[in-house]
Structure 1
């Protein structure tokens, strides 16, 4: 690849009969060759996006004591706040403070016979002093889920599959995950690693950026390009489960975030649309012409990919948040000694 910038895809073309086929061809090429693109005219209200950014800044401006009241260590569902350097990528600390929100569902009543990943379902933690945060984020979560489903329908058609081919994987309980992220400047971190190089594990990822660049995409081995902020767009990338489902035709691409320069900061808001936790990812049969171009899924040997969505997601959470794993999942290690890479 000699790409120097990410392609720009206009979602309005998908609903235009005169443009739809050309859009699907562009979508297929962008997702296979790079695995990242800008999405414009996505239909999410501009006012809602600004509200999400404003609420995020208000959250990060709260006193540390208030943020600690909703710290992730209080949640067996891996929801809540983490200070910078609390989350690990490939064993190294990521210099970002963040707040994780999932689908707002009640915790399940579990017993020893239930799989451990069912603990992932549960309520979020919300700061009492900022009640508007919950309303705004859940509204944005709903809007982003609709965009994600529309894009999955487009992907299915781009691959000559039935438009609803992926529907059973997310069903009525998709794995909806929001991450509010603030990257401090390098004078605070003494590190360039905002987030270490990694692939996303789910289906689709959407990123709402502010004006500060930092996201970089590895378009070829050792070749990184900046995903420069583009107003009005989301940066979209393919997750490993979608790569797995298409036998590597669609590409999950390694990316990272470089910490902002000294005395600056960066705000980004990520939305991840994943399959329902009780799903198992099949390999879809593509038309012969496309199947010949599939490269097979490229799983990280240090973090092997599992077809069982719940176990795969739990494995990633345990690796990234060892303090939460130690507090709530010790029985998992006793039951499966040496069998999980965490």
Structure 2
């Protein structure tokens, strides 16, 4: 049930046209090229994900969030040096301010790396996920969904590559054999719980592309280059796709990582979403792609934010983001990466 009737203000992209006839594919690529430069945000259709998988993920996520708090806290993120697990509302921060959402973070299942004095700090990100004992079916379900949205993300990335005048697999050398696969199931409580209207503060995503599943309650907003906020309400059967900082770096700003936020829902309501962030391998360095001359003329350069520097070294970039977003985990497990002042405050980059 939607709580208000809001018209979608973002374009729609049918990814099945990428695999259509030569004429259809050509028209699709031209449209996508314009969208990438103007927005970087769009609704994706024709993705081929089983509707039952989507329904099951949302329903099971709601069951997880309905668990007693003590059950959820058994897998609280602060217990994981790899930034995996459950966060209470107000425990993640954007630009130092509390985000009023509770969530479960899952990334690529793995084994922890033995950390020595010469080990790159970003290798601390590798490790296992934490899963709730009370809902054992959540693990296979979310891993199946993670595999599907990884497929979608890579397909979209291939289409983006062609729209940029590149071979389909131009980005493969920096995400194969294993991209970063951060997945979040998220619940935004209503304003009777949230202390501000910041569901998530204004920010850019750090990966290649984000694949966002929205349930039924709106709240997502996208800021255009000239500062106008566009509404991006849920549209059944679609995902919202947005481009991240890695593509901005790789294209010298032809593709933008657009600023976006989520407004906390009104009192008496709650909002659910599932966000997937497809990123590069942690040991990769993002190159600058040589774009065709007609696109190169439209490069805007990489945006500079003194509060959120962007690094071409992927692992460093991702670790920086996690340290800033989760100060409790940073202090508990990574105090050696923080300044003395930051150990008693919100962590800085290093």
Q: State the TM-score bracket (shorter-chain normalisation).
A: over 0.9
State the distance in 2 between where 1:117 and 1:73 align. 17
State the distance in 1 between where 2:296 and 2:227 align. 27
**Residue number among 279, 284, 292 corresponding to 1:287 in the alignment:** 292
Closer/same/farther in 2, CA of residues 97 and 149 from structure 1, 3 Å limit: same
SS of aligned partner of 1:189: coil
State the distance in 1 between where 2:101 and 2:127 align. 24
Partner of 1:240: 245
State the distance in 2 between where 1:220 and 1:163 align. 27
State the distance in 1 between where 2:147 and 2:308 align. 30
After superposing the two structures, state which structure 1 stretch, 61-70 or 101-110, moved more. 101-110
**Residue number among 8, 25, 30 corresponding to 1:25 in the alignment:** 30
State the distance in 1 between where 2:32 and 2:159 align. 8
State the distance in 2 between where 1:43 and 1:84 align. 33
Partner of 2:15: 11
After superposing the two structures, state which structure 1 stretch, 11-20 or 131-140, moved more. 11-20
**Residue number among 331, 334, 345 corresponding to 1:329 in the alignment:** 334
SS of aligned partner of 1:187: coil
2:260 is the counterpart of 1:255 = yes
Q: What stretches of structure 1 of length at least 5 have no aligned partner?
A: none
State the distance in 2 between where 1:259 and 1:126 align. 27
**Residue number among 213, 220, 223 corresponding to 1:218 in the alignment:** 223
2:48 is the counterpart of 1:43 = yes
User: What is the number of equivalent residue pairs in this alignment?
Assistant: 339
Partner of 2:4: none
State the distance in 2 between where 1:4 and 1:136 align. 29
SS of aligned partner of 1:195: strand
Cα pair 2:78 2:328 within 8 Å, conserved = yes
SS of aligned partner of 1:305: coil
2:54 is the counterpart of 1:54 = no
Normalised to the residue count of structure 2, the TM-score between the two structures is: 0.94
Task: Tell me the CA shift for residue 126 of structure 1.
Answer: 0.2
2:162 is the counterpart of 1:157 = yes
Cα deviation 1:182-219 (Å, max 9, x = unaligned): 00111111311100111001110011001100000111
2:349 is the counterpart of 1:341 = yes
Partner of 2:321: 316
Task: Tell me the CA shift for residue 289 of structure 1.
Answer: 1.0
SS of aligned partner of 1:237: strand
Task: Tell me the CA shift for residue 113 of structure 1.
Answer: 1.0
Partner of 1:193: 198
SS of aligned partner of 1:236: strand
Task: Tell me the CA shift for residue 221 of structure 1.
Answer: 3.7
Closer/same/farther in 2, CA of residues 244 and 58 from structure 1, 3 Å limit: same
Cα pair 2:321 2:349 within 8 Å, conserved = no
State the distance in 2 between where 1:108 and 1:341 align. 21
Cα pair 2:14 2:47 within 8 Å, conserved = yes
SS of aligned partner of 2:192: helix
- Spell out the pairing of 1:91-170 with structure 2 (5 A cutoff): 91-170=96-175
Partner of 2:179: 174
State the distance in 2 between where 1:96 and 1:108 align. 30
Partner of 1:74: 79
SS of aligned partner of 2:105: strand
State the distance in 1 between where 2:53 and 2:237 align. 12
State the distance in 2 between where 1:78 and 1:27 align. 34
SS of aligned partner of 1:38: strand
